[in-house]
Structure 1
Amino acid sequence: MKTRYKVLLLIVVALTALSFTRPAERYFEIAKNLDIFATLFKEVNALYVDDVNPNKLVRTGIDAMLNSLDPYTNYIPEDEVEDYRTINTGQYGGIGAITRELGKRTVVTMIMEGFGAQKNGLKIGDEIIKIDDIELAKLTREESGQLMKGQVGTPVTLTVKRPGVEQPIKIDFKRERIKVNNVPYSGMLGEDIAYIQLSDFTPDAGKEVRNALIALKEKGAKGVILDLRGNPGGLLMEAVNITNIFIPKGKLVVSTKGKIPENNLNYETLNAPTDVDIPVTVLINRGSASASEIVAGSVQDYDRGVIIGEKSFGKGLVQVSRPLSYNSQLKVTTAKYYTATGRCIQVLDYAHRREDGSVESIPDSLKRPFKTSTGRTVYDGGGIDPDIISNAVEAHLVTQVLFEKGFLFDFATQYVLKHPEPVSPREFALSDETYQEFVNWMKNKNYSYKSYLEYELEKFQAEAKKEKYYGDLKAQLDQINNRIADSKKNELMLYKEEIKMLLEEEIVGRHLLERGSIEVGFKYDQDIKKAIDILHSPSQYKKILNQN
């Protein structure tokens, strides 16, 4: 550990020194500190009491150095480059199946439409026990994931254990190029509202949104909901392309400003828009980041639509990739981006850390006001503030535990075995009798957990014992603990609606895959209901945007 900190200290000292020196001195400082680092590493490798792994030691130093900058500046070694490309391009060589570990099992949780997994009969609920002749029980999650992916055109055989079938099944596949859709769902809500869910900003995101909107307008759409909730962002140019669907050609969407003049760029809409008049609502939440915030911010800056949901994540930083030796890469933050009004929505100030290394948010006192095209006031330094705020209710801890441990998944698998007939996602609803079956099924299952209240109570009890008050408070504390225990016995009924919603998504997904699991949740979605109400009320829509 001491060696690690020495290495990191030398690197940090080098970086700090470089910030205050002239070019010639900077080059000398770089050469000097690299020489110190190399000689220190050689000495440690030769003299340290135990054998050291040179790859691991240097990787630790690199990661710690970059972590002192921001979370988005990363080193990507050769064996992780392919996964990085997948994130940026939405493409990989595989069979089109999504898997998840549930305990010691690796199960298929989703099948992508139109690819080998669907064509060759793999099913949601199948447990993969072998890839080719290699048992998954002997592999880590990362190792099994690498085996599933591979060169396009190469064969792979899965051996699966299928619920309701006694003997394992072998299924042969040929890997193909899998393209993950940026738009996993688009469709009509009622007779006149288009709904488009955008989950990524990989290549062709703009084209996919544009094509979806054109198709839905042909079906009678008079208003559109663009759902960016949980979208972490991606390619900046795709954010510009999507904004261009609703905003005229030649309008500034975003500008970037960095230390190097070449990174100071303006990005304007380049094409004729698809529709500058159709009413637009954009849904965002705390998981909407980066490119999502560029789109939402541009729509807001030009008063082109109403933003609904939670305050967005607040990532106003731009990264580029640079090749390194031995096929590795560096992803490095090079600039901040600014929306059309000139606001930077970056919420955390990584350049000014506290003494303990933690990062502060931009204080409200330093946030600056900006004006939209109709004169509405918006602010920088803290994500995109929605025009209509909705406080999303986070699933209760018991619901999260049931999902994470796979109980919802397994019950859905058993339900579909007994009820194989297709269902309509917008009409399907789990009956009270079926939900009671789930409650009875859970009686012998271990899903114990500690609630946040129990953790806080334990801390309080420990403090009471330290302060010698525990004896006086024991009776009351025991009473509270008993009340919590009694309440937890009834939690499956207390949180019935949110558990039921996830069960319905799992069940419908077995029949209609991702589109079905998305669609079944519409009836529970308060943000979508608010958006529909706004789009059906032209006077309220215009009032929010200060439009006459």
Structure 2
Amino acid sequence: MFKRYKKTLLVLAVAASSLGTMAFVDDFFEISKNLDIFSALYREVNTNYVDEVEPAKLMRTGIDAMLKSLDPYTNFYSESEIEDVRFMTTGQYGGIGATIAQRKGEIVVNEPYEGSPAQTAGLRAGDIIVAIDGKSTKGKNSGDVTTFLKGQPNTPVVLTLRRPGENADFQKTLTRQEIKIKNVPYFSMVTDNIGYIKLTGFTQNAGNEVKDALAELKKNGGLKAVILDLRGNPGGLLNEAVNVTNVFVDRGQLIVTTKGKVADNNRSYKTLNTPIDLAIPVAVLTNSQSASASEIVSGAIQDLDRGVVVGQRTFGKGLVQNTRPLAFNTQMKITVAKYYIPSGRCIQALDYTHRNPDGSVGKIPDSLIREFKTTNGRKVYDGGGVTPDFVTDQNSLSSIAISLLSKSLLFDYATNYRNKNATIAPAKTFTLSDADYNDFVKYLSDKDYDYVTASEKTLEEYKNAAIKEKYFDAIKPDYEKLKNSLKHDKQSDLVKFKDEISGLLESEIATRYYYQRGKIESTLKRDKDIKKAVEVLTNTNQYNTALAVKN
């Protein structure tokens, strides 16, 4: 009987092995066959197509389209783009330390980084880059110019610049340096006993930057709670997400697990370091642009009941990418796994595996969303990002504010303001006077910034539907009356939305004098999410109740 049992097991094992081998052979044959087909097709197009084709460009189009059919995060990088990959992981590059943008056919300095070669050389936001090392930037896009500005540290670059309001061009010689973009551009006390840490990325050393920021805040003897701001943070390195969480949770705690098709991608990530503070109340701020590593941190803090999450639902990216080297010094970033936070949930919102017939991607259906439990037994759910414990309204701008931003009129006015005013009050206290705002309104008098309000857009859609259904003639008088009632008036909107527009202007102007730090400080006083976090953290009962089991 035992021999027969062993023989049966052996037969089953051989059969399973044979099936696995057959599957491997079938996959290999399909790959080989399709590569042969593609190679033949590529050769025929290159040889016989009626017009000249660029083989490299044609191949890149094919590669990008193939990878796009998988998900937005699986990408190919040519040899010339490897520096971009390095920047995404390290936050470092060789250059002058300034962002640029293309406006009205000109290349404009968008923002010099504080302490960078650009800032120390006196470059200002709004300066127009006319030439680089004597070569005109006319006809170049911002990507081309960025390439020219980057280079090996300690190499010189000569910029020819034009400053709005000044007649003559001028030159600046800058020495490129290794530029490191900080993950924590700002931290401070927002009240007498609540600290604030702004985390904008998860490149190398993010965990140490958060740790150092909290250690500095703790030097204030009155620190009793901390706000960690992850709004607008798109994520980055998974291990740095673990390190950031480790600042607040004990060593040896499981933070995230990854599961993929290949066994090597099935991993568990635990905290490795001694935490800074295990007891201090924590509020994590999130919004719809908090993604990936941001969701690991906010989700882990929530799952472990280590703090509360305040703001809006996060993006919902529960996928993990690895970079893989390819031939000729090229690389690819490929999705290799899904990640699961401490409660066991995956927060991926979009289902790229099961696309709609038209190729679009749908969200995980409600019927497939599952319930999980936090350490304290609170209910949390997968399939759609991290839902905050305290949900706030999403910040939305008026139509006139969006128009002023999109047409760079706030940017241009701030540039003029900086050129006329050598100094302003500290960013935390700087406010735009009524005289300044009236000057801005006067500045707009000959500018084009027309816009369509949401109400006007809805009414136009209503009209089009009525025309299509042949009802419009009957309702035309009512339509015209409503249209006139809803018609926006730019001058009255400048009055109606004065507080909102003034806040945006104050932030833009503060950036001119105090750079990224000034921009953040200027917005703190108007930030509704921060006010909500402060409210929760100062109310011990409210904070503790949020972390308790809800029956």
TM-score range normalised by the length of the shorter chain:
over 0.9
Superposition RMSD on alpha carbons, in Å? Answer: 1.8
Correspondences of 1:45-84 after superposition (within 5 Å): 45-84=46-85
CA apart distance, 1:411:
1.2
Cα distance per residue 1:274-310 (max 9 Å; x no partner)? 1101111000000000000000011001100010000
Report if aligned partners of 1:188, 1:195 keep a CA contact under 8 Å in 2.
yes
Correspondences of 1:84-163 after superposition (within 5 Å): 84-163=85-164
Q: Secondary structure at the match of 1:160?
A: strand
Summarize the Cα distance change of 1:397–1:56 in structure 2 as closer, same or farther, 3 Å threshold: farther
Report if aligned partners of 2:313, 2:386 keep a CA contact under 8 Å in 1.
yes
Q: Which amino acid aligns with 2:338?
A: K
Cα distance in 1 for residues equivalent to 2:546 and 2:387 = 14
Q: In the alignment, which of 420, 444, 447 is matched to residue 446 of structure 2?
A: 444
Cα distance in 1 for residues equivalent to 2:409 and 2:263 = 54
CA apart distance, 1:547:
8.1
Between Structure 1 and Structure 2, how many residues are aligned?
A: 530
Residue in 2 that maps onto 1:534: 536
Correspondences of 1:372-411 after superposition (within 5 Å): 372-411=374-413
Cα distance per residue 1:422-463 (max 9 Å; x no partner)? 312221111223212211221211112333444443343334
Cα distance per residue 1:120-142 (max 9 Å; x no partner)? 22122322211111222221221
Using structure 2 for the length normalisation, give the TM-score.
0.93
Residue in 2 that maps onto 1:276: 278
Cα distance in 1 for residues equivalent to 2:549 and 2:236 = 32
Between 19-28 and 440-449, the greater mean CA deviation after superposition: 19-28
Q: In the alignment, which of 337, 340, 353 is matched to residue 338 of structure 1?
A: 340
Cα distance in 1 for residues equivalent to 2:545 and 2:22 = 54
CA apart distance, 1:375:
1.0
Of the two, which has the highest radius of gyration? Answer: 2
Cα distance in 2 for residues equivalent to 1:547 and 1:535 = 19
Report if aligned partners of 2:158, 2:171 keep a CA contact under 8 Å in 1.
yes
Cα distance per residue 1:107-127 (max 9 Å; x no partner)? 222221222112222122322
Report if aligned partners of 1:102, 1:405 keep a CA contact under 8 Å in 2.
no
CA apart distance, 1:353:
0.8
Correspondences of 1:2-17 after superposition (within 5 Å): none
Between 472-481 and 534-543, the greater mean CA deviation after superposition: 472-481
Cα distance in 2 for residues equivalent to 1:325 and 1:449 = 50
CA apart distance, 1:464:
3.1
Q: Secondary structure at the match of 2:138?
A: helix
Report if aligned partners of 2:510, 2:522 keep a CA contact under 8 Å in 1.
yes
Cα distance in 2 for residues equivalent to 1:247 and 1:141 = 43
Cα distance in 2 for residues equivalent to 1:298 and 1:157 = 48
CA apart distance, 1:382:
0.7
Cα distance in 2 for residues equivalent to 1:21 and 1:329 = 31
Is residue 33 from structure 1 mapped to residue 34 from structure 2 by the alignment? Answer: yes
CA apart distance, 1:489:
4.4
Report if aligned partners of 2:418, 2:509 keep a CA contact under 8 Å in 1.
yes
Summarize the Cα distance change of 1:107–1:250 in structure 2 as closer, same or farther, 3 Å threshold: same
Q: In the alignment, which of 490, 493, 500 is matched to residue 492 of structure 2?
A: 490
Residue in 1 that maps onto 2:423: 421
Summarize the Cα distance change of 1:293–1:537 in structure 2 as closer, same or farther, 3 Å threshold: same
Q: Secondary structure at the match of 2:340?
A: strand
Summarize the Cα distance change of 1:20–1:125 in structure 2 as closer, same or farther, 3 Å threshold: farther
Q: Which amino acid aligns with 2:529?
A: D
CA apart distance, 1:106:
2.2
Q: Which amino acid aligns with 1:298?
A: A
Report if aligned partners of 1:423, 1:511 keep a CA contact under 8 Å in 2.
no
Cα distance in 2 for residues equivalent to 1:285 and 1:496 = 25
Cα distance in 1 for residues equivalent to 2:473 and 2:458 = 18
Q: Secondary structure at the match of 1:472?
A: helix
Residue in 2 that maps onto 1:364: 366
Cα distance in 1 for residues equivalent to 2:478 and 2:52 = 56
Q: Secondary structure at the match of 1:56?
A: helix
Correspondences of 1:141-540 after superposition (within 5 Å): 141-220=142-221, 221-540=223-542
Q: Secondary structure at the match of 1:490?
A: helix
Q: Secondary structure at the match of 1:475?
A: helix
Q: Secondary structure at the match of 1:520?
A: helix
Residue in 1 that maps onto 2:12: none
Cα distance per residue 1:462-505 (max 9 Å; x no partner)? 34334333333332222333233344442222222221111001
Q: Secondary structure at the match of 2:358?
A: coil
Cα distance in 1 for residues equivalent to 2:488 and 2:452 = 14
Cα distance in 1 for residues equivalent to 2:312 and 2:22 = 44
Cα distance in 2 for residues equivalent to 1:131 and 1:273 = 48
Cα distance per residue 1:236-284 (max 9 Å; x no partner)? 0000001111000111000000001111000000111111011110000
Between 473-482 and 324-333, the greater mean CA deviation after superposition: 473-482
CA apart distance, 1:391:
1.2
Cα distance in 1 for residues equivalent to 2:106 and 2:141 = 11
Cα distance in 2 for residues equivalent to 1:408 and 1:259 = 49
Question: Percent identity, aligned pairs only?
Answer: 49
Report if aligned partners of 2:310, 2:391 keep a CA contact under 8 Å in 1.
yes
Report if aligned partners of 2:74, 2:334 keep a CA contact under 8 Å in 1.
yes
Report if aligned partners of 2:430, 2:522 keep a CA contact under 8 Å in 1.
yes
Cα distance in 1 for residues equivalent to 2:168 and 2:22 = 71
CA apart distance, 1:534:
1.4
Q: Which amino acid aligns with 2:184?
A: V
Summarize the Cα distance change of 1:407–1:250 in structure 2 as closer, same or farther, 3 Å threshold: same
Q: Which amino acid aligns with 2:463?
A: Q
Give the unaligned 5+ runs of structure 1: 1-18
Summarize the Cα distance change of 1:463–1:537 in structure 2 as closer, same or farther, 3 Å threshold: closer
Using structure 1 for the length normalisation, give the TM-score.
0.93
Residue in 2 that maps onto 1:11: none
Cα distance in 1 for residues equivalent to 2:335 and 2:22 = 22
Cα distance in 1 for residues equivalent to 2:482 and 2:238 = 52
Summarize the Cα distance change of 1:323–1:494 in structure 2 as closer, same or farther, 3 Å threshold: same
Cα distance in 2 for residues equivalent to 1:33 and 1:432 = 69
Q: Secondary structure at the match of 1:22?
A: helix
